[in-house]
Amino acid sequence: MIGKMFSLGFEAATLPARLTYRSTRAVLGIPGELERIRGEFRQLSDEVGRGVQVLLASVDADMRHKTAHLSAQQKQQALDLALDAAEQHLSMAALNTLRALWLALDSGRELRRDRTGIVIEHEQ
């Protein structure tokens, strides 16, 4: 069952990339489309780059403000706690993904992501 889950998980995870590749290959056969697609990729890449820069600047400003009063040793302790929390969250996310995949396979239901979901952030 686990082997089947991993196999189907891999198939599900790579499906968007495979479909994108096939669609792109078909579109590139149309004259003039390659330049348009390159322009769109550049624009999207620039937007993603700006988004990452904004996110990093926000995290940097937030952490400078929150840790301004901490010593180097206290920052190291906070680092250890943050890494432990991240590991636990990632482990639980992986476990919940496997559980959802197993339940979907067992019930014959198709997996769908709720796009209206809410992300809850909290401070520790």
In a domain, 115, yes or no: no
76 and 65 co-located in one domain: no
- 20 lies in the same domain as 42: no
Q: How far apart are CA 113 and CA 41, in angstroms?
A: 25
Count of domains for the chain: 3
Q: Report how far apart, in Å, the C-alpha atoms of 118 and of each of 27, 31, 37, 78, 115 are.
A: 35, 42, 33, 27, 9
Whether residue 120 contacts residue 109, with contact meaning beta carbons closer than 8 Å, is answered with no
Residue 7 clears pLDDT 60, i.e. is over it: no
Domain stop point among 43, 69, 95: 69
- Which structural domain range is residue 4 located in? 1-30
Question: pLDDT tens digits for 76-116?
Answer: 999 999 999 999 998 898 888 888 888 888 777 666 666 66
Per-residue pLDDT reduced to its tens digit, 13-22: 666 766 776 7
- Note whether residue 124 is domain-resident: no
Rounded Cα–Cα distance for residues 96 and 24 (Å): 33
What is the average pLDDT value for the chain, to the nearest integer? 78
Match 């014959």 to its residue by tokens: 108
For residue 45 the two structure tokens come to 């890449």
Strand stretches in 3-115, DSSP E: none
Residue 114 belongs to some domain of the structure: no
The confidence score (pLDDT) of residue 1 equals 45
